[in-house]
Amino acid sequence: MSDARQLLAVGVAVVAACAMPKHADGQTRPISIFIVRHAETDQKPPTFRLTEAGRQRAGSLMHTFRDVKFTQIFASHTSWARETVEPLATAHGLKVVQLPRPGSTVDGDVITDETSRRAAIEPVAAALKELPAGSIVLAVLNGENIFAILNRLGVPVATVGQTCSAGNMCVPCTDNSCFPQKEFDHLWHLMLEPGRAEPLSFVHLRYGPGSRTE
């Protein structure tokens, strides 16, 4: 088993312990959120399609989370984010909730694949912050919005000279200028507690073939 898989197994065990809304002593259970980037695409706008590698990664996503009992699954408004997680959602009997909703109108503009990926930042962050206690959630997002959403969930931006490596709860920036655009195997796990500014825990992993820990 790879280091990433071992660490994820530990995370899954923690998540399983949080499946009920309250502890025996009546305290509220935390919220568990997994965030990943969409799988590899052909980079042919306006609608990027998953490549063979992307479809394989979608399969790896299913394998990675095979023991997690999700309560909700979210994706950004892009079709390739939805396609990445649809097999997993189907296996769990869940509907993929896309935010903002494709076909809806925001500020007079219809949401399509051509809409800026950053349009997902506020609605996704708001939905994740409003989750009920004990929720176990997966969100498939884009390089342009992941760091900003993590920041809105309480992960601070790195200070000057700080590296966001293992043991440091931070994101390097809140736009796509520092996102590793050629990498699709990153996985972030947060545990949130209502009323707490920062996550209870924040772990950055890698998944799939050749994955490694950060």
How many structural domains compose the chain? 1
213 in any annotated domain: no
214 in any annotated domain: no
Domain that holds residue 21: 3-206
Express each pLDDT in 60-103 by its tens digit. 999 999 999 999 999 999 999 999 999 999 999 999 999 999 99
Give the percent of the chain with pLDDT over 70.
Answer: 85
If one compares 9 and 115, the residue with the highest pLDDT of the two is 115
212 in any annotated domain: no
162 in any annotated domain: yes
Cα–Cα distances in angstroms (integers) from residue 185 to residues 21, 52, 133, 177, 213, in the given order:
30, 15, 28, 18, 10
CATH number of the domain enclosing 121 = 3.40.50.1240
Express each pLDDT in 6-61 by its tens digit. 445 444 544 444 444 445 455 678 999 999 999 999 988 877 999 999 999 999 99
25 in any annotated domain: yes
Count of CA atoms in the C-beta half-sphere (13 A) of 205 = 25
152 in any annotated domain: yes
Whole-structure pTM value: 0.87
User: What are phi and psi for residue 22, nearest 5 degrees?
Assistant: -135, 150
109 in any annotated domain: yes
137 in any annotated domain: yes
- CB of 149 within 8 A of CB of 128? yes
